[in-house]
Amino acid sequence: MKRNHKRERRDQRVIRTWTYAQAMAALPYVASVMRSVRERRLEAVRLQLQGRRLARAPGRADRSKIIAQEEAAHAVRLAEDRFQEAIEELEPLDIYCLHPIHGEALVPFVHDEQLAWFVFDLFEPDHLRFWRYHSDALETRRPIAEALAGPGQEKLIV
């Protein structure tokens, strides 16, 4: 079977990895963006719920109800767009939002020559208390002290 090496190369992406010191220095900015991500996601969820309530309202839809439903759908689309814009602020940093409502994001770094992630938590006082390997389950949380003995910044191709 012939392998498509061009496609394999095209699917690879260089991920910027962070050192702990770099991640700590970026925390104020990341916290600000994650607050925006969370607020915008909550707004979108609230508006979706309002739209569903309008759609489930008893009775036949009259003109005003149809207009209200259309306005609600438009508001949801705008809120989703604002949420997506906030998420996209993290992309150039190679920081990935794990759970927008919980305020969790993943910051890549290298530990023991493996891809690993600092787990950013908006609601933790020091934000970076845990980390996990890429191969770990998403719920895995290792104490940050284990990762601090790791190597410096490297680039990974995934």
| pLDDT one-digit tens code per residue, 50-106 | 988 888 888 887 888 888 889 989 999 999 999 999 999 999 999 999 999 999 999
Which of 42, 45, 34 is CA-nearest to residue 121?
Answer: 34
Are the C-beta atoms of residues 120 and 104 closer than 8 Å to each other? yes
Report the candidate in 101, 103, 143 with the shortest Cα–Cα distance to residue 120: 103
- Residue 31 burial (CB count, 10 A): 16
What is the tens place of the pLDDT at every residue in 142-153? 999 888 864 444
pLDDT, residue 12, reads 76
Is the entire prediction scored with pTM above 0.85? no
- pLDDT for the residue numbered 146: 84
